[in-house]
Chain A
Amino acid sequence: MMVFQGLSPLAGAVACAVGTSVLIFLHFLKVRNPGLKIPSIMLWRESCVHPRRQVLWEKLARFLSFLPPFLFIFCLCGALTEPVWDRGGGRKLVIVTDASGFPAAVRLLEHADPLRSALVLASGGGVILSDFGAPRRPLLLPEKIVSDDADAVVALAERMAAPGGLVCWTGSKLPPWLPENSLFIRSGKKAVPKTPRKKVKIALPGASPRFSAAVALFPGVEVTEAPGKADLIFSLRANGTDISAEETAIEELWALLMRSGLLLPEAGQVGTGPAAPPVLPERRAVSLTVPLFLLAFTALAADILLWRKRKTV
Chain B
Amino acid sequence: MISDRELFPEELLAAAGLLQAPPEKNGLSFSAGRHRSPRGGSSSEFQDYRSYVPGDDLRRIDWNVYRRFRKLFLRRYREFPQKKHLVILDDSPSVRFTGERAALVWRLAALICGTLLMNGDHVALRPGTGAPCRSFAPGRSSAAPLIGELLAAWHRKTPGKAPDFQAPPNCRTWIISDFLDPEGLDHLEECFRRSRGFTPVRIFEKRELRPELAAESRFIDAESGSEVIVSPGAGALAAYAVRLRRFEQLLALPARRTGSAVYGFDVGLTVPELLRQCAAELFPGGRK
- A residues at B contact (CB < 8 Å): 33-45, 47-49, 308, 311-313
Contact = CB atoms under 8 A, between A and B. Distances in A.
B222 to A, nearest CB: 5
Interface string B94-111: 110100010000000000
B1 interface: no
A48 B236 contact: no
A45 B235 CA distance: 12
A40 B236 contact: no
B247 A43 contact: yes
B233 A312 contact: yes
A38 B222 contact: yes
Contact of B240 (A33, A37, A38, A43): A43
27 contacts: A36-B218, A36-B220, A39-B94, A39-B101, A39-B222, A40-B94, A40-B181, A40-B221, A40-B222, A40-B223, A41-B227, A41-B228, A42-B184, A42-B221, A42-B247, A43-B185, A43-B247, A44-B240, A47-B184, A308-B231, A311-B216, A311-B230, A312-B229, A312-B230, A312-B233, A313-B229, A313-B240
Interface in B80-122: 93-95, 97, 101
The DSSP consensus for interface residues of chain B is mixed
A47 B246 contact: yes
Contacts of B239: 313
Contacts, number: 99
Contact of B236 (A33, A35, A41, A313): A313
B244 interface: yes
A47 B185 contact: yes
Given A41-B220, A42-B188, A43-B244, 4 more contacts: A38-B219, A39-B94, A40-B182, A40-B222
B180 A42 contact: yes
Contacts of A43: 180, 185, 208, 240, 243-244, 247
A38 B222 CA distance: 6
Given A311-B231, A313-B230, A313-B236, A39 B180 contact: yes
B31 interface: no
A12 to B, nearest CB: 35
A313 B208 CA distance: 16
B157 to A, nearest CB: 19
Contacts of A36: 217-220
Interface residues of B, number: 38
Interface in B156-209: 178, 180-186, 188, 208
Nearest to B101: A39
Contacts of A308: 231
B218 A45 contact: no
Contact of B219 (A35, A47, A49, A312): A35
A272 to B, nearest CB: 69
B226 interface: yes
Contacts of A313: 228-231, 235-236, 239-240
A37 B221 CA distance: 6
A45 B184 contact: yes
A47 B245 CA distance: 12
A41 B235 contact: no
A33 B221 contact: no
Nearest to B207: A38
Contact of A33 (B183, B184, B218, B247): B218
A41 B226 contact: yes
B220 A37 contact: yes
A167 B231 CA distance: 66
